[in-house]
Structure 1
């Protein structure tokens, strides 16, 4: 059975992200799902909330086994995360500090505090970050910048990814033709996370600007 059959993808049988992912899984099986998830890590606009439930649905249709779906999607997550880790490691602390110094409304001490926080809580951030929409990809970069031991990073990434992938793959497996409903709920969670991040950044900028204005008024 081809996954791109209209019964599987009634809204976009040959196009869109679901159609693209369906083509990979249909043609390559588990490795295709792994490739799709590896690319999702590198390009977050590719939604795991579509790819993973779709892979679970494919497993339910016999296109691949459930064990294969979980193995390859988790491997894909790790491969994509390692690529981002090495990007962070390539940037390094020196370049990060140099770039940070050129940004407005920030201080070197802010970055130092962030590094200190990551040194204390980085393992939890990497593990739980793999289960948070949007940040599941981004968390790999600071881990690389701070040169978290690679074996620790790999272990935490694999475990966190396995949990996240299992939930979404199994949801697609159990829901069958209704697998697309998973993306609706996870997509909503992604928007909430993004919204909170925007509010946090806006609050930070506001506090910094207010502090700068007060300092300028006192000098004048």
Structure 2
């Protein structure tokens, strides 16, 4: 994975002063535009290991640099989160608790525990969990499911999701925009070095997530086999 990312970044020859992987990502976001920001947030709804926090500050920086509209980036991100939430809400409402829980458990590297955490969060806080859950990693991806299962009022659900997602996205896009003056000279001088560091961090985080999940799945299978052995 690290080699793939490095090759992609080396193929990018920036004309904006940003080198390596960082330049490639910024160029990709600029090419796709604000719609790409919304798409990235939408994808995170179904693939939680891809954090929106890694995308939104970049959108804010591009807005500061005059290559993206900050308000449209924020709107696209919020719409992406809302549409993803609608999908999970509809799945929960249509399939019910047990079948939806089984579906989440079949998603690669996801666990039933991810569903259980979101459900417990919703049970504890009720409708407010939809609002607060947008700021909690993993929970924000699945908090819409128990809302759908419990048939929470759809328009109330939509309002809470929009507010929670809107505030969360505004924070991260705003950080990228606000720190643009400080980030730009650093990227212009050190983007190549920083790109290598980012690649290493991404590879380590992905590897850690995969290893932890696979070890847990293997342990659960061994325990299950031992209990079934006469």
| TM-score (normalised: structure 2) | 0.60
In the superposition, relative to structure 1, how do residues 68 and 84 fare at CA in structure 2: closer, same or farther (>3 Å)?
same
2 CA distance for matches of 1:97 and 1:73? 27
1 CA distance for matches of 2:39 and 2:126? 27
2 CA distance for matches of 1:134 and 1:48? 11
1:78: which partner in 2?
A: 82
SS in 2 for 1:72: helix
- Which aligned pairs between 1:177-196 and structure 2 lie closer than 5 A? 178=183
1:123: which partner in 2?
A: 127
2 CA distance for matches of 1:96 and 1:89? 9
The answer as to 2:48 corresponding to 1:44 is yes
2:73: which partner in 1?
A: 69
Question: Residue deviations 1:145-175, cap 9 Å, x none?
Answer: 1121111111000000011000000001112
2:153: which partner in 1?
A: 149
2 CA distance for matches of 1:9 and 1:31? 24
In the superposition, relative to structure 1, how do residues 8 and 149 fare at CA in structure 2: closer, same or farther (>3 Å)?
farther
SS in 1 for 2:127: helix
Residue 9 of structure 1: how far off its partner (Å): 5.8
Residue 93 of structure 1: how far off its partner (Å): 3.9
1 CA distance for matches of 2:121 and 2:58? 37
- Structure with higher RCO (Cα < 8 A, 6+ apart): 2
SS in 2 for 1:147: coil
1:175: which partner in 2?
A: 179
Do the aligned partners of 1:85 and 1:145 also contact (CA within 8 Å) in 2?
yes
Do the aligned partners of 2:92 and 2:146 also contact (CA within 8 Å) in 1?
yes
2 CA distance for matches of 1:64 and 1:73? 13
Residue 121 of structure 1: how far off its partner (Å): 2.6
Do the aligned partners of 1:22 and 1:54 also contact (CA within 8 Å) in 2?
no
> CA-atom RMSD, angstroms?
3.5
The answer as to 2:71 corresponding to 1:56 is no
| TM-score (normalised: structure 1) | 0.62
Gaps of 5+ in 2: 1-11, 104-115, 188-193, 206-211, 213-230
